[in-house]
Amino acid sequence: MKIVILGTGGRLGAALARSFEKYDLTALNREQLDLSDLDDLRSKLDPISFDVFSNAAGLTNVDACETQRDRAFLINGEAPGVLAEICNAKHAKLIHFSTDYIFDGEKRTPYTEKDEANPISFYGESKLIGEKNVLAARNHHLVVRVSWVFGPDRPSFIDAMIRRAQENEKVDAIADKFSTPTYTHDVAQMLPQFFNCTVDDSILHFATAGKCSWQEYAQRPLE
């Protein structure tokens, strides 16, 4: 099976590339394939043959998406739709990563795949457009929503908490913000079962652990 991973300079993409070495793998970072250049996407991917394309790339800095809205919509919204078209032409499956930021956070119990999206940030809005564009292509593509992603390839919230604890006596973390931590290695382990899946309109919520507050999430590594 031939697999392409985009975003291998990032936290999740690097973990996927490491786990999928046993496949016929093409690992691409931003320098090799830039989602903001749609013509380049087409011309660079057209000559490559593959069965699965995993898109772990995106503009993930929530604040940067607020100030660079056009860029956020292009990279997170429009480009995934172009990737889906390219995959359709090759009868390949696109596995596209999305986020809990497509929800408004008002629900008091964990969100399910059936819940209505209602983003309240430009990051969330751009990612939701990306999801819709991928699923509109209707070729058994899969949208995987993850949250609070951590792993060894790029510092995350956990690393920031450890660093702060080393520098300060006291570390503050918000107690009324809840989500589900997700280890990049666990995403990589569960993903292959979907490589040959032929269900349309698929959205999957995946997390390593159950619900916790940001404070609990911060406390665990410090213990």
Ligand X SMILES: NC(=O)c1ccc[n+]([C@@H]2O[C@H](COP(=O)([O-])OP(=O)(O)OC[C@H]3O[C@@H](n4cnc5c(N)ncnc54)[C@H](OP(=O)(O)O)[C@@H]3O)[C@@H](O)[C@H]2O)c1
The residues carrying an active-site annotation are 123
Smallest separation, CB 63 to ligand X (Å): 13
Contact with ligand X (CB under 6 A): which of 19, 26, 54, 60?
Answer: 60
Residue 132 token pair: 């819709």
Indicate whether 30 belongs to the interface with ligand X (CB under 6 A): yes
State the CB neighbour count (10 A cutoff) for residue 97.
27
Side chain identity, residue 158: I
DSSP string covering 150-209, please?
Answer: E-TTS--HHHHHHHHHHH-S-----SS-EE--EEHHHHHHHGGGGTT---SSEEEE--SS
Smallest separation, CB 11 to ligand X (Å): 4
Contact with ligand X (CB under 6 A): which of 7, 80, 81, 124?
Answer: 7
Indicate whether 188 belongs to the interface with ligand X (CB under 6 A): no
Contact with ligand X (CB under 6 A): which of 10, 77, 81, 124?
Answer: 10
Contact with ligand X (CB under 6 A): which of 73, 111, 148, 178?
Answer: 148
Indicate whether 57 belongs to the interface with ligand X (CB under 6 A): yes
- Tell me which residue of 124, 184, 114 sits closest to 154, measured CA to CA: 184
Site for ligand X in 61-100 (CB under 6 A): 75, 97, 99-100
Quick one: how far is CA 31 from the chain centroid?
19
Report yes or no: 102 and 80 within 8 Å, Cβ to Cβ. Answer: no
Smallest separation, CB 10 to ligand X (Å): 2
- The window from 2-10, 42-50, 83-91, 162-170 that contacts ligand X (CB under 6 A) reads 2-10
Task: List C-alpha distances in Å: 14 to 21, 71, 147, 154.
Answer: 11, 23, 17, 9
> Which C-beta is closer to ligand X: that of 117 or that of 170?
117
